Amino acid sequence: MINFLNKLPIILTDIKIQHTVFALPFAVMSAFLAAEGLPAWSTLGWIFAAMLGARNAAMAFNRIVDARFDQSNPRTRARALPSGRVSQNQYYIFLAASSAFFIFSSAMLNDLALWLSPVALGIVFFYSLTKRFTSYSHVALGFALACAPVGAWVAVREEISMVSLVLGTAVVFWLVGFDIIYSSLDVDHDRENDLHSIPQKFGVERALKIAKISHAMMLVFLLVLSVSPLLSFVYLQSVALVAALLWYEHSLVSSQDLSKVNVAFFNVNSGISVVLMLGVMIDCVWN
Q: What is the pLDDT of residues 20-58, one digit of tens each?
A: 777 899 999 999 999 999 999 999 999 999 999 999 999
Whether residue 228 lies inside any domain: the answer is no
Q: What's the pLDDT at 2?
A: 60
In CATH, what number is assigned to the domain containing residue 167? 1.10.357.140
DSSP code of residue 77: T
Does a structural domain hold residue 251? Answer: no
Tell me what pLDDT residue 247 has: 96
Q: Does residue 249 fall inside a structural domain?
A: no
Calculate the CA 119 to chain-centre distance.
16
Rounded CA-CA distance 268/260 in Å is 11
Helix axes 204-225, 233-251, angle to 10 degrees: 180
**Does some domain include residue 132?**
yes
What span, in angstroms and rounded, lies between the C-alpha atoms of 89 and 206? Answer: 41
Question: Would residue 278 count as lying in a domain?
Answer: no
Q: Distance between CA atoms of 36 and 115, rounded to whole angstroms? A: 25
213 part of a folded domain: yes
pTM: 0.93
Domain that holds residue 126: 2-223
What is the pLDDT at residue 120? 97
Helices (H), 67-203: 67-72, 80-83, 88-109, 111-130, 137-157, 162-183, 187-192, 198-202
What integer pLDDT is reported at residue 30 of this predicted model?
97
Q: In whole angstroms, give the CA distance from residue 6 to residue 166.
A: 42
Instruction: Tell whether 143 is covered by a domain.
Output: yes
The domain total for the chain is: 1
The reply to whether 69 falls in a domain is yes
pLDDT < 70 stretches in the chain: 1-2
How far apart are the C-alpha atoms of 60 and 98, rounded to whole Å? 9
At residue 243, the pLDDT reads 97
Q: What is the pLDDT of residues 170-192, one digit of tens each?
A: 999 999 999 999 999 999 899 98
pLDDT recorded at residue 1: 63
Do the beta carbons of residue 7 and residue 254 sit within 8 Å? no
